[in-house]
Amino acid sequence: MTNMNSNEIRIGNLVYPKGSSTLSHVTGIFENLCCLSGINNKYSKHYLFEQISPIELSESILEKFKFKKDEHGYWWIEFDRRYLSLIPSQDGYWYPVLVQCPEVSSESEQHVSINRIKYAHQIQNLFFSISHLELVFETKIQINENAKN
């Protein structure tokens, strides 16, 4: 499992405490440790950086970040006349492409490929870097009204 460093995470990033499948977010960063809280703020605990693990990007994580899947299997999210597209790969990585929509109809879209990523905190950091917005992680449980006992 991959170790994390203080220079690659930000407050709000999603991680796992090592040996746990409990989704947590970073609430504090210190010299050699960080503070994690459960998604529903049910606990807060300090961990050394070697005691936390990144969360691999998956379709379910992207859905909770409000990305949408297109007919080509690419995932994307729109913001401020731009969108960020993620192209899945067989090697477990995702290849991000930033697309600037044209300002006038005679221009074409501008595409910029960015280094491949693999983890939730990387897409959170990338999205914040290019948009100055936080990705919102949806934690509400959807209840199927048609399923009645």
Same domain, 36 and 67: no
Same domain, 68 and 48: no
**The domain that contains 23 carries what CATH number?**
2.30.30
Same domain, 77 and 107: yes
Number of structural domains (the chain) is 2
Q: What tokens were used for 20?
A: 């746990």
**Which residues of the chain are modeled with pLDDT < 70?**
1, 41, 105-106, 140-149
pLDDT value of residue 1:
55
Residue 1 lies in a domain: no
Same domain, 38 and 77: no
Helix %, strand %, coil % of the chain (to 5): 15, 35, 50
Residue 114 lies in a domain: yes
CA distance 123 to 93: 12
pLDDT > 90: what percent of the chain?
A: 55
- Would you call 46 helix, strand, or coil by DSSP? strand
Residue 100's domain spans which residues?
59-131
Same domain, 68 and 125: yes
State pTM to two decimals.
0.81
Residues 11-35: tens digit of each pLDDT: 999 999 988 888 899 999 988 889 9
Same domain, 12 and 41: yes
